[in-house]
């Protein structure tokens, strides 16, 4: 009887173990199924996240490249604006009448080339913008008629012609020619002051000489010429222009 009871217990134990084994097997299968689902879902989510990250990275690189191009463009434009601003300040004409005031016609001399003809021919060339011809004509006038009442005017227009040439070179981007023309303009304007100290063109020559010196990046000399103009010709038409220029120099 005792042996029969043990066998029954053993059989029951085996049955329980078998049932437990089946339960564990089913649980393991369920676990693997769940893990597989989780793994697939994780891979899908990871792929989607990576796809989104790749898209964001591509968009970021595109925006970064566009930003770099815009920044370079802004720098280029800023440099061009600054260059144009310097050229404009150097070559800007004074706020005076753009058309030069015609001078009175000198009296005609009997026989030979007439002062009026030589002077007016040079003046017409200047008015047309033919500055090299105007320079040649006014110098011819000075050579032939050095004692004429219009000699100081002729000398002034030589300086004005060189100053206009410098402005034209600057507008055309021929920077290598600007300095030479401005230096020559300074010399010619100074001849007006030295050779014709009582001439009517002295205040204008002083003012234009100062502008040419500013174009040559010599503000100290330009300031000195403007102060000289105000000291010796306070009632001239150029005096208010000189005051404005001095005020702008102090602000720079």
Higher pLDDT, 95 or 182: 182
Evaluate whether 159 touches 194 at the Cβ level (below 8 Å). no
Residue 166 has pLDDT above 90, yes or no: yes
Q: Is position 105 within any domain? A: no
CA distance 241 to 212: 15
Q: How far is CA 35 from the centre of its chain?
A: 67
Domain count, the chain: 1
The average pLDDT across 246-252 equals 87
| Domain membership flag for residue 79 | no
- Distance, CA of 125 to CA of 206 (rounded, Å): 24
For the question of whether the overall pTM of this predicted structure is more than 0.75, the answer is no
Domain membership of residue 219 (yes or no) is yes
Higher-confidence residue of 5 and 173: namely 173
- What pLDDT shows up at residue 50? 72
Residue 179 pLDDT > 90, yes or no?
yes
Q: Per the domain annotation, does 136 fall within a domain?
A: yes
Tell me the average pLDDT across 139-152: 95
Within a domain: 51: no
The verdict on residue 190 lying in a domain is: yes
Task: Let me know: does 190 contact 155? Beta carbons within 8 Å.
Answer: no
Q: Which residues contact 167 (CB under 8 A, 6 or more apart)?
A: 91, 93
How open is the CA angle 244-246-250, to the nearest 5 degrees? Answer: 115
What tokens were used for 67? Answer: 């930003």
pLDDT in tens, 210-244: 999 999 999 999 999 999 999 999 999 999 999 99
Above pLDDT 70, what percent of the chain?
62
CATH number, residue 200: 1.25.40.10
Would residue 240 count as lying in a domain?
yes
Give the residue numbers spanning the domain of 243. Answer: 115-251
Confidence at 27, pLDDT banded by 50, 70, 90: low
94 Ramachandran zone, left/alpha/beta (phi>0; psi -120 to 50): beta
Nearest to 191 by CA among 207, 180, 205, 178: 205
Cβ(98)–Cβ(86) below 8 Å: no
Is residue 85 predicted with pLDDT exceeding 50? no
The verdict on residue 215 lying in a domain is yes
């Amino acid at each position: 009887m005792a042996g029969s009871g043990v066998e029954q217990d053993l059989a029951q134990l085996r049955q329980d173990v078998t049932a437990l084994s089946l339960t564990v097997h089913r649980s393991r299968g369920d676990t693997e199924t769940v893990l597989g689902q989780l793994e697939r879902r994780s891979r899908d989510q990871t792929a989607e996240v990576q796809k989104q990250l790749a898209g964001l990275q591509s968009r970021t690189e595109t925006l970064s490249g566009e930003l770099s191009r815009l920044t370079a463009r802004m720098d280029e434009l800023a440099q061009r604006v600054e260059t144009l601003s310097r050229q404009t300040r150097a070559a800007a004409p004074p706020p005076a009448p753009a058309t030069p005031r015609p001078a009175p016609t000198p009296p005609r001399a009997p026989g030979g080339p007439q002062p009026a003809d030589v002077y007016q021919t040079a003046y017409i060339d200047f008015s047309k913008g033919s500055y090299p011809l105007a320079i040649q004509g006014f110098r011819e006038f000075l050579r032939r008629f050095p004692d004429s009442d219009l000699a100081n005017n002729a000398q002034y227009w030589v300086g004005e012609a060189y100053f206009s040439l410098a402005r034209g070179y600057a507008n055309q981007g021929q920077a290598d020619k600007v300095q030479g023309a401005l230096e020559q303009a300074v010399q010619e304007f100074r001849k007006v002051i030295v050779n014709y100290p009582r001439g009517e063109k002295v205040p204008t020559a002083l003012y234009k000489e100062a502008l040419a010196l500013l174009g040559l990046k010599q503000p100290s000399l330009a300031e000195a010429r403007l102060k000289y103009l105000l000291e010796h010709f306070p009632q001239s038409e150029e005096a208010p222009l000189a005051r404005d220029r001095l005020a702008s120099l102090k602000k720079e």
